[in-house]
Amino acid sequence: MLLLGPILASVGSSQYLVTMITRALLLLFLGQETGRPPAKTTDATNVTAEAASVMTGTFYLHSSEGFDSYLAELGVGYILRQLASLAFPIITVTRECGAPPSAAPPCQWEIKTDAGLRAHSIVFTPGQQVEDTTMDGRQVVSVFSVGPGQSLLEEQRDLGGGPTTLLARTFTTRGMEVAMTVNGVNASSVFLRN
């Protein structure tokens, strides 16, 4: 119980709570967003604008399976795993491309995660290496690629000699599913679209 007070105070002062309240009020007064049909152009990462519109947005955790075992396999300590199990992260995926697409450099993507107690952001261009510090403190080199369908694949190679992690984010009009694998231990999370 001693740990719960600071956690609630931190969550209460975070952008997470403000975002959740704002989202609830907007849904209450405006209803669900209907959206408009996207254009069908492509960018330098060979993602159509239609696919990119499904692959970008804000997503809220709905459910997870096997996450504690996955974190344990990564060497994450018990207390941090317990805190992670209490978090309801908000993930925002954006893509920034120059115009016109044929003359533009490759599009840059960004994945922002707000877990209440911690926030994380990574900016990348598919196919290029990016050094990063994960939310659990590991120093990694990540390589992202656009996978089949509407998916982003990420390979995280631990710079400290730890295991390589594979993450597959698959996007639908309903949300995002994240499949995580490390040393044969699998976990999955389902996020719903805002």
What's the token pair of residue 145? 């690629």
Q: Whole-angstrom Cα distance, residue 1 to residue 5?
A: 7
pLDDT tens column, 123-133: 999 999 999 99
| CA-based nearest residue to 152, from 188, 173, 177 | 177
> Could you read off the pLDDT of 36-95 as tens digits, one per residue?
333 333 444 557 777 888 999 999 999 999 999 999 999 999 999 998 889 999 999 999
* CATH number reported for the structural domain that contains residue 14 in this entry: 2.40.128.20
Find the domain containing 167 and state its range: 4-193
Domain count across the chain = 1
Over residues 97-103, mean pLDDT? 66
46 or 192, which is more confident: 192
Note the pTM of the prediction, 2 decimals: 0.74
**Run of H or E residues at 27:** helix 15-30
CA distance 113 to 92: 7
> Distance between CA atoms of 72 and 155, rounded to whole angstroms?
19
Tell me: pLDDT of 97 over 70: yes
